[in-house]
Every structure is written in structure tokens, then in C-alpha cells.
Structure 1
Amino acid sequence: MLVSDGLAWAAVAVATVAILHALIRHPRQYAWQAGLWGLSSILLLAALLSGGPRWQLVPLGLAALFCLTVAIVRWVRASKGKLQPRAGRFNARALLTGLIALPFIAVTGLALYLFPLFEMPRPSGRYPVGYTEFHWTDANRPELHTVSPIDKRALTVEVFYPADPGNREGKLRPVMLEGGAVGASLLNNLPGTRFFLSHLAGIPSNSRIGAKLASDHQSFPVVIFSHGLGVHPDLHLSLVEELASRGFVVFSVNHTYGSAANRFPDGELKLVEVQAYQGGEPPPNAQVTAEAERILASNDPAVIAEGMQRLMNARPLDRAIERFGLDIWEGDQRFVLDQLGQLQAGILPSQFKDRLDLDHTAVTGMSFGGIAAVATCGVDSRCKAVADLDGFFVDLLDRPAPQQPMLVLNGADNNMGLALFDRPGGWHYWMKVKDTRHADFSDIGLFSRLWRMKGSGGSIDAAHIRKIVNSSVSSFLEASLLSGKSDWKPPEHWNDVVFQSRGPAAASEAPASTTEKDAG
């Protein structure tokens, strides 16, 4: 909990005490009321000064202003003998004022609980983290999300990199600048939801804008990361900062019109085009849904692959839409790979000239971004390792399997990643994390408790799943890109992780080794 949140909770507590105090008759009742509401107001002001303005504190601010004003007026009148507490067991006037304020206090308490200020997890690596961003346009690809025939595909790419130790230049970038648009997207753009995550702009990350690239190595390995559909790259901030602190230069792609929000230098904010990615067919009926759940619960990769292909072949429009989006995102990742060569050669001016180790490049992502990473690495030899965080499309089974080392992370509610893990290729690894759901593979559990309450997250602790994901992906990339180590295993023993590995042979020839990690 940040200091600002502690002060805000203290203000809520004092305001609650002020209401309860009205139940106790006292000769100096109005003076006490003025003092308590004054203290609550001071704590609230301190919270605003330390953490910046945020919507969660508005209801309490209105209640404190009202109650403090009323209490001061009554105190002054009582001191002049013009007002005396009425007879009875409690001060009815003070209690009535408090009851008017009570709903406002309750709203602030609920908002602080659901949308807290928090401190981003500290990266474990030896480097501080620097940050910059690029806005690139692919002149060779039209923008298929718009109706204009002259629009070209434009992307924002956030870059996190190892910075010189001791370098304190540049301010810390916020956790998320476009929290308003992202919050609305995550809540299906319901009216009044644009402000729910706007407070994230006031929370500092661990990344310093414009910091100098570390000078202790000539070049650093590279990771491309892609977010999930309809969300935002900053929902994976803890992972990319962890990778950067361990010596990777991470290019986190904002897939325009596939992300919740992408703001360009001219100020234009481009939001997700939901209709471009939604199936045009009716939702599956209960029988089909039950059949899909049965298939995905299987431990047999062949059953999963055959069953899901059969179900999706009966929904040709859905498959076509999947293919449409996947082709665009794969093209985005391969375009970024092209741009890395331009940065390395100095054709695109930056501090990364001659500093990128492009022979050691991984492509990674979560959900739709992880699906695209698997597709890209199946056809592009510039990719040397791939990590997919809980992403699966049937269409991937019709595309070339990655021959590079591949890590697939899977949520607890299905085994769909086994269908990717089992395909012939290089060293493949599959991890299933118990008590998780899809959203747990992002940082959303740090941002708000609401998503777990609405069923988007599992029962796993938010900090624990962050450690599992961040340390596993980092360790896998270090082993695959830097040490050339085969037969990788997760870096720690967790009792809520099921792990399988398969060597570089055809699926039918190489039996997988299965381990349920024990607590260590």
C-alpha cells in the first residue's frame, strides 16, 4: 500500500469515528465533531498531495466539506450559547449530519478497496529500467480496420531496456496513461466507466523515461511482446520491466485497433474495433459449450486438437475472423522485427544503434498476442524462442509449428495449450498454473480487485501469480537465448504448477516428461 492510500484509509476511519461519536453525548459535542471532521479533511488533503487527485476520494471530500462546515457553524453557535445539544442518549443533529455523509464515505471505502493505489513490484534484475517509445508506420501494409483506402498500418511500440546503474536521469513513467480508456474497454464500455482506471496515471512505474542504455555490454538480447485482444500493453508492465532489469531490450507492441487504446503523437486516440474481432455467428448453445469444456479438460493433446478443430470447422465465419486478426498481428510482429534491423543499423536514429543482439531475439505475448507469437515464430527464423501466455486458436494447428524453444503457459480452467505443446518442433514446455483464470496472466489483479470478483480471475494471489509468470518467462528466455540450455525447468518449486517438457522430436516419437512441482 502506498502512503497516499494509507492516508486515504485513515481519513475514512476518522470520518467513521465522527459519525459514531454522535452516539455519545458530551458537553463539547460540537467541538469534537469539528475536530474529527477537520482531522479527516487534513488526512484527505495529505492523501491528495502525496498521491495526486483521483476519483476515489471525491465522495469523501464532498462529505468531509459538508460535515466540517456544519460542525464549525454549530460549534460557533454553541460557544455563544445559541445552540445546545438536545436531550437524549445521542446528539440527534450530529448523528443526522453523519448519516447524510455515510453513503459518501461508504462509496470512497469501496472504491479504495476495489481500485487501490499500489506499488509496482520491484524487478529482481541488476539493471534499473529505462523507457522510450516509437511510432512506426508500415508503408507496405494497408490499415484493414478502417474504410480509408490510403490508411497504412501504424503502431506504437513501447521500449523497456536495461539502463546504466546509478542513472537517475528522467522521471518515472506512470503505470498507465490511458487508464480511462482501458478501464472502459475492460468493462465493456458501460456508461460512466472511463474513469475507473484513470488513477493509474498517478502511480509511478519502475521505468525512467529516456534513461541511458547500460554500457557494460556491447549488445543486449531482444524480446518482442504483444498484449491480448482489447486490452493494453501496460497490463503486462511488471513482466516487461522484469525482463529489462535482467538485460533484455523489450519492444512491447501496441496493436492499433486491437488494443483498448493507442494514442499517437498528434493526440489522436485510436480505440479497439471490437466488431472486427467478434464472431458473426450466434453464440454456441449449451450443448456445444459443454462439449468444448469436455474437450479442453482432456489431458490428451490429440483429443484437444481434433475436438476443437471439429467444433470450429462448424463455425466457418468465426474461423475466418480469427484468421483475419491473426494475420494482422503476425504482420505487426514481423514488421517490428524489420524495424529492429533499422534501429541496429542506425537508419532509425536512437541509442540502440549497434546495441541490439538480433541473433538472440524472442517473440512473446499473452492471449491473442501469444497466439500471434506462435504464428510468427512458425514462419520467421529471426525468432529464436517463443513464449505464449494462455493463448490458443485452432487456426494455429494449420500453420507451421515453431521449431524454436517454446514455453506455453496455461490457466487452470482448460488444457488447450497441450495442443500446441505436442506439435513437432524444438524443445517445448507447458506449464499449467492452478487456481488461475485467463486474466491472471496480466497485471490486472494488481490494478483492481473487481476483475476477480466478477469472475475474470482465479483465487490465486495476485503477487504470487506475478512471480510465477515473470520469473518463469525470464528464466526460460535466459536459458533459451543466452545459455543455449535445453531441458529447461521452472526456476522454483511451486505446488500449484503442473509442468511438462518435450525434446526436439516428432510428437509421436518423444514422450513428454510430466512433473507436478512440489513446494520448496
Structure 2
Amino acid sequence: MIIMGLLANMFTALLAYALPIPELPAPTGSYPVGTLTFQWTDMGRKDHYAADPGENRELLVQVWYPAEQQDKRESSSLMTADERQIFAQQLGIPALLLDYFKYVPSHAVVNAEVSNTRQQYPLILFSHGYSSSRLFHTTQAVELASHGFIVASIDHTYGTSGTIFPDGSIKPFRLSDDQFESSEAYRDRVGQVWSDDISFVIDQLERLKGRQTASQLAGRLDMDRIGVIGHSFGGAASYDAIFDPRVTAGINMDGTLFGFKDQSASAKPFLFLYSEAAQEAIDLILRTSAFTDAQFEEIGITKEEFETEANYTLLEMKHIQSLLNNKGEAFYIAGTGHLNYTDIQFVSPLLKYISLTLTGKLSPERTARIVNESIVHFFKKNLMEEIDSNADTMDRIPELHDMTDLFDND
């Protein structure tokens, strides 16, 4: 019995280290934050990924916004019990192991009154990554809201780890991993659905402008100042969404592009934020593309074989270069991996030992601060036409490196 007790205590201690209760960074802006959730159906689109081919596209959208002062003890939890159950199923682990998420506050109060400091606030549409969730970008959404933006975080149905709608219905992940990896055409089709989701949500929010609606957001959205931001595949969707004439500016966090070959360079401000892992991969491809025939022979392939394999990436790099010559910007954050742009980086300190392409050596707290300062700075500049002089700007952050010269590599 004594040995079993010791083993139980050791297991508990190990679990507490591997899966501590995460502490999401508190927002730094002057506004408290409120949140509302909407369930909207697009009657003009059928959902190609639903089990029922006649099902219309249905979306869950969580809105974060500047609020009146609230009791911080009323802050909602990051995930509900049902959401923890879904994520546990996807990870193949007992739901009990994620039970600690009920203690993680989102730093936002459900149904709080909208702040009366301003009559209207700029709108930002947020798009998560492939098989991810809006919930994993809570820190960024809350941070933007605390600085005076209304943020609409979209769950792209059937492309998330799982979505639970307010009416109790559950939409699981239904995209094809094999086709997503192997087919450019498949990725483009999924991407079109996601960018159409963004435009549809803008349509719905425009309907809230009128005072005739019951929503407290009615009349509070500045629909002349709209931004888009996304991570990974959602970053690509955000880039495509800037071609919606209602969108002013956008950000792609560590994502590629789709459908770019048929589009001219955008004249709108657009920011690419990369991880160091992505920067190293881009640098390797660009350097290899300049190899001589002798160098290609040395690594065992021909130049033609390399160009066939890397053609999509090389076209994408050329397209991004044209954006940087216009109103685009590109930076990478040293010491970061792909998941450092999500709240997943706070889940466990063991992630950095699994793969540096997932989370890098830079601490989650420092990474989140850099990302948050960068996106707030960009949107204040391009949607509010103001810059917070007290915040670190792009050229003051030592871990942030300009990538313009890398892409300008002919």
C-alpha cells in the first residue's frame, strides 16, 4: 500500500508538471472585455463537407469586444465541459486529463455591456488553422478587444477539432487529411469555403448595424474599418479575404497561401508574421533554387526535379515579394515554432522538447507578448490610424526580424 501510494503521488506530481493549469496572459489594453456567441446559417451555400449534402453552411462565431467595467470573478472559462470532451477525443486521451481547463479564465465576461467610451469600434475577423479552433486564439482576441477592437472569431465548421453550437448540435472534423496534404486543388477548394465564411460573417455583422436588432452590438461596429487575421491555413484565408472590398488590412500568422496565382498584388496593408522554423524552411528553398547544376547533382536531384517539387512554394514566394514591394510587410520571431502563434503553447512545458517546429525555445509568455504587440500595433496603425507610443513597435523588438531581403532574392 505504501508503494502504491508513493507511485500515485509521483504520477500526480509528473502530471502536474506535464499538464499544469495554464495561465493565459491578461490583456494589456485599457478596456475590460466582453464576449458573445452567435450561430448563423448561410442559406445561400450548401456545406460540401457535411454528411447531409443538403445541409446549409452553418457557423459559430464568438465575438470579443470592449466592455464596461466588470467583476473579474465573472470571467468565463476557456472551455466548456463539452468542448473539453471533444478535444480529448481528438487527442485520444481521457477527458479527465483536460478537466483542469475549467480553471483557466478567458479574461472576458459573457454578455457584458459594450463600452460607451466610443460609439463605434473597428471590426477584426479571426480565422483559426486547419483542424484547430477559435478557442486556441483566445489570448490574441481578448488582447485586441482590450485595445478597442471588436473581434469576430470564426469556427470554420468541419475544419475545426470540433464545434459545439449554442443549440447543442456538434459538428466534428470532416476534412480529408490525405487530400489536404496531396492535392493543391483540394486545399484551394477548402480555402475558398473559409474565405467565403469570412465574407458571410461580415454580411451578418452588417445586419447588426441597424438599431432594429436586439443585439447589444447593434450600432457599435465600425464597418468602414475592417481587418482580417488568421493562423496557418486561416492565415491564407485571411489573405484571400482582403480582396473583399470591405476589408481594409490583414495579417497572416505563419501560414502559406492558396489561390494566389490568379490574383494581382494587393494594394492593401498586409503583414506576414512567421515562426523561425518557417523562416528557415523558406530560406532553404530559396537558397536551393539558386544552386548550379553541379550542386544539384551533388545532392542527387536535377534542377528540373527540384523545381517540379518546389514549384508551388517558389510561386508563392514570388507573389509575396510583389506584396512586399507594395504595402506588405514580413517578419519572423526568433526562437519560435508554428504553435507559438496559438494558446496551445501554454498547455505543457514539454512541447518544446517534442519538436522545435511546434514550439521554439522562446518562452510562451515572451512569444505571446511579441505577437500581441505586433498585431495590436499593425491594426491600430491601419484601422485606427494611431500608434501607441508606449508599446514596443516592430523595430524595437529584438526577436523580430525583417524578412524583406530574404524574399528579394532573385
- TM-score normalized with structure 2 length: 0.83
Q: Which residue of 2 aligns with 1:399?
A: 263
SS class of match (1:118): coil
SS class of match (1:112): helix
Distance 1:495 1:353, change over 3 A: same
Say if 2:120 is the partner of 1:207. no
Distance 1:457 1:222, change over 3 A: same
Q: Which residue of 2 aligns with 1:160?
A: 64
Structure 1: stretches of 5+ with no match in the other structure: 1-96, 282-316, 503-507, 513-520
SS class of match (1:218): coil
Match of 1:466 among 351, 368, 390: 368
Q: Is the 8 A contact 2:233 2:255 kept in 1?
A: yes
Q: Which residue of 2 aligns with 1:269?
A: 170
Moved more, 441-450 or 237-246: 441-450
Q: Is the 8 A contact 1:374 1:402 kept in 2?
A: no
Q: Which residue of 2 aligns with 1:225?
A: 126
Q: What does residue range 492-503 of structure 1 map to in structure 2 within 5 Å?
A: 493-500=396-403
Deviation readout 1:178-211 (Å, 9 max, x if unpaired): 13322443x3xx3x35443332123222101111
SS class of match (2:135): helix
Q: Which residue of 2 aligns with 1:446?
A: 346
Match of 1:329 among 182, 185, 194: 194
Match of 2:336 among 421, 436, 439: 436
Deviation readout 1:417-453 (Å, 9 max, x if unpaired): 8555412474211111112111111111112234333
> Following the alignment from structure 1 to structure 2, what is the Cα–Cα distance between the partners of residues 374 and 196?
36
Moved more, 241-250 or 193-202: 193-202
Q: Is the 8 A contact 1:132 1:209 kept in 2?
A: yes
Q: Which residue of 2 aligns with 1:241?
A: 142
Deviation readout 1:223-255 (Å, 9 max, x if unpaired): 000111111111111111100000000000011
- Using the TM superposition, give the Cα deviation of residue 280 of structure 1 relative to its aligned residue in structure 2, in angstroms: 7.1
Q: Larger RCO: Structure 1 or Structure 2 (Cα < 8 Å, ≥ 6 residues apart)?
A: 2
Q: Which residue of 1 aligns with 2:286?
A: none
Match of 1:318 among 156, 170, 183: 183
- TM-score normalized with structure 1 length: 0.66
SS class of match (1:465): helix
Distance 1:179 1:451, change over 3 A: farther
> Following the alignment from structure 2 to structure 1, what is the Cα–Cα distance between the partners of residues 88 and 368?
20
> Following the alignment from structure 2 to structure 1, what is the Cα–Cα distance between the partners of residues 354 and 404?
34
Match of 2:322 among 397, 416, 423: 423
Say if 2:223 is the partner of 1:358. yes
Q: Is the 8 A contact 2:49 2:175 kept in 1?
A: no
> Following the alignment from structure 1 to structure 2, what is the Cα–Cα distance between the partners of residues 175 and 123?
14
Q: Percent identical across equivalent pairs?
A: 28
> Following the alignment from structure 1 to structure 2, what is the Cα–Cα distance between the partners of residues 196 and 419?
45
Distance 1:253 1:447, change over 3 A: same
Q: Which residue of 2 aligns with 1:179?
A: 84
Q: Is the 8 A contact 1:427 1:501 kept in 2?
A: no
SS class of match (2:76): strand
Q: Is the 8 A contact 2:191 2:258 kept in 1?
A: no
- Amino acid aligned to 2:131: G
> Following the alignment from structure 1 to structure 2, what is the Cα–Cα distance between the partners of residues 402 and 116?
43
> Following the alignment from structure 2 to structure 1, what is the Cα–Cα distance between the partners of residues 135 and 201?
18
> Following the alignment from structure 2 to structure 1, what is the Cα–Cα distance between the partners of residues 30 and 394?
17
SS class of match (1:372): helix
> Following the alignment from structure 2 to structure 1, what is the Cα–Cα distance between the partners of residues 350 and 88?
11
> Following the alignment from structure 1 to structure 2, what is the Cα–Cα distance between the partners of residues 480 and 237?
22
Deviation readout 1:354-400 (Å, 9 max, x if unpaired): 111111110111011111000111x2111101001001035334434
> Following the alignment from structure 1 to structure 2, what is the Cα–Cα distance between the partners of residues 197 and 450?
16
Distance 1:280 1:172, change over 3 A: closer
- Amino acid aligned to 2:365: A
> Following the alignment from structure 1 to structure 2, what is the Cα–Cα distance between the partners of residues 167 and 436?
35
- Using the TM superposition, give the Cα deviation of residue 98 of structure 1 relative to its aligned residue in structure 2, in angstroms: 2.5
For these two proteins, the number of residue pairs brought into alignment is 365
Q: What does residue range 15-414 of structure 1 map to in structure 2 within 5 Å?
A: 97-164=1-68, 166-168=69-71, 171-177=74-80, 178-185=83-90, 187=91, 190=92, 192-275=93-176, 277-279=177-179, 318-346=183-211, 348-377=213-242, 379-393=243-257, 395-414=259-278
Distance 1:452 1:420, change over 3 A: farther
> Following the alignment from structure 1 to structure 2, what is the Cα–Cα distance between the partners of residues 218 and 461?
38
Larger Rg: 1
> Following the alignment from structure 2 to structure 1, what is the Cα–Cα distance between the partners of residues 318 and 363?
28
- Moved >4 Å (runs of 4+): 416-420
SS class of match (2:278): coil
- Using the TM superposition, give the Cα deviation of residue 167 of structure 1 relative to its aligned residue in structure 2, in angstroms: 3.2
> Following the alignment from structure 1 to structure 2, what is the Cα–Cα distance between the partners of residues 207 and 426?
37
SS class of match (1:413): helix
Q: Is the 8 A contact 1:412 1:436 kept in 2?
A: yes
Distance 1:280 1:382, change over 3 A: closer
Distance 1:494 1:204, change over 3 A: same
Q: Is the 8 A contact 2:254 2:278 kept in 1?
A: no
- Using the TM superposition, give the Cα deviation of residue 111 of structure 1 relative to its aligned residue in structure 2, in angstroms: 1.2
Q: Is the 8 A contact 1:428 1:501 kept in 2?
A: no
